């Protein structure tokens, strides 16, 4: 099935961080997750067991590192289960990523508005 992950930085970016040259947020740096919504439904749609979902809900918040050169992004997700890294071009071609269970997933990254990065994932 298809899953959607949206990282919305609108509440923490000020207008100086939205780059006027191409209306994209400047994400370069380290970020800490402070809120999430729909996590249980998202994990359920991925076939994650109830016990694993309960453990995930109690896990420490992840942090993220972004290395950004315009639309080229290297995204590292630092989680309690280890590090996951994705490299892609936003509004570019489909790319392959590996999830926390070492499964290959097809992804497509797009900008939404001036502060959100959306990735569409299809696979197991």
- Residue 124 is predicted with a pLDDT of 62
59 with 82: CB under 8 angstroms? Answer: no
117 with 7: CB under 8 angstroms? Answer: yes
- Residue 16 is predicted with a pLDDT of 44
- Residue 35 is predicted with a pLDDT of 77
What the block records as the tokens of 37 is 């919504």
- Residue 18 is predicted with a pLDDT of 45
pLDDT 10s digits, 102-122 = 888 899 988 887 667 887 877
Task: For the chain, list the domains and their CATH numbers.
Answer: 2-33+61-122 (2.40.128.20)
Intervals of the chain under pLDDT 70: 1-23, 114-115, 124
Q: What is the pTM of this model?
A: 0.69
- Residue 65 is predicted with a pLDDT of 92
């Amino acid at each position: 099935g298809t899953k959607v992950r949206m990282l919305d930085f609108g509440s923490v970016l000020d207008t100086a961080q939205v780059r006027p040259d191409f209306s994209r947020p400047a994400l370069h740096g380290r970020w800490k997750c402070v809120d999430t919504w729909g996590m249980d439904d998202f994990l359920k749609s991925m076939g994650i067991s109830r016990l694993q979902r309960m453990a995930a809900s109690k896990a420490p918040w992840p942090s993220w590192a972004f290395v950004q050169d315009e639309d080229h992004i290297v995204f590292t997700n630092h989680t309690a289960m280890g590090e996951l890294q994705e490299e892609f071009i936003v509004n570019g071609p489909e790319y392959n990523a590996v999830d926390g269970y070492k499964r290959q997933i097809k992804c497509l990254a797009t900008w939404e508005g001036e502060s959100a990065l959306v990735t569409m994932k299809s696979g197991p």
